[in-house]
Amino acid sequence: MRTRALVARAAAEVFAECGFAGASVTKITQRAGLTLGAMYFHFENKEALAREIVRSQPDRVTPPHESRGLQHAIDITLTWAHQLLDDPFLLAGARLVMEQDLFIGPEENSHQQWTEVMAQDLALAQKEREVRANVDVNAVARLVVNACTGAQMHAHLESGRRDLPQRVTEMWNVLLPTIATPSALNRMRLDESRGKSA
């Protein structure tokens, strides 16, 4: 398990730096300080490594505060935005987003995974009357994921991602008044502590 984790972390670092096309199993094993045999014992190929990294993305994002429904959807995105700044697995996911067709099917790519996470939270929020009854939660989930993906790309180009948390907060400030019920809107918190561990 330790070797598998070492290979996965090295792969995440190399994918984050070089993208999928620019990464090689040789670069990955050199980064891990392991032999090719050790890597192939755990992963069939570079594609399998990339799939594992993409599939692990949602599990890596755990908000620092307990929440549910609409607040949890907010907290997930804010936590992702803060963690992305220095987590090699999330950085790899951000870099691999445009190359996913090379190693993973559209039914399980990162967009689908994150959309399901958002849709679950928003559906619960709607059931608990935090989200307006006429809101299409699946459409909003896709919109949030698209907006976060775009914010990540632009933040990478313009600020080295340093302002990504502020961009995500701005997205919610615009979106919340259109989807949240008035009582829920007053309860939602967007401060830095919702996504940043102390």
pLDDT higher than 90, residue 100:
no
Question: In sequence order, what are the beta bridge partners of 131?
Answer: 180
CA 44 to each of CA 30, 36, 38, 54, 139: distance values in angstroms, whole numbers, following the listed order:
17, 11, 11, 16, 36
pLDDT at 137 over 90: yes
Predicted confidence (pLDDT) at residue 195 exceeds the cutoff of 70:
yes
CATH of 57-194, one of 1.10.357.10, 3.30.390.50, 1.10.10.10, 3.30.720.120: 1.10.357.10
Residue 164 pLDDT > 80: yes
Q: Are 127 and 154 in contact (CB under 8 A)?
A: no
Q: Which residues in the chain are classed under CATH 1.10.357.10?
A: 57-194
pLDDT for 169 equals 97
Q: Where in the chain is the domain with CATH 1.10.10.60?
A: 2-54
Question: Taking 70 as the threshold, does the pLDDT of residue 90 lie above it?
Answer: yes
Give the per-residue pLDDT at 198: 65
CB 65 within 8 A of CB 75: yes
Sort residue 26 into left (φ over 0), alpha (ψ -120 to 50) or beta. Answer: alpha
- Most confidently predicted of 73-77, 82-86, 101-105: 73-77
Average pLDDT (151-177) is 96
Give the CATH number of domain 2-54: 1.10.10.60
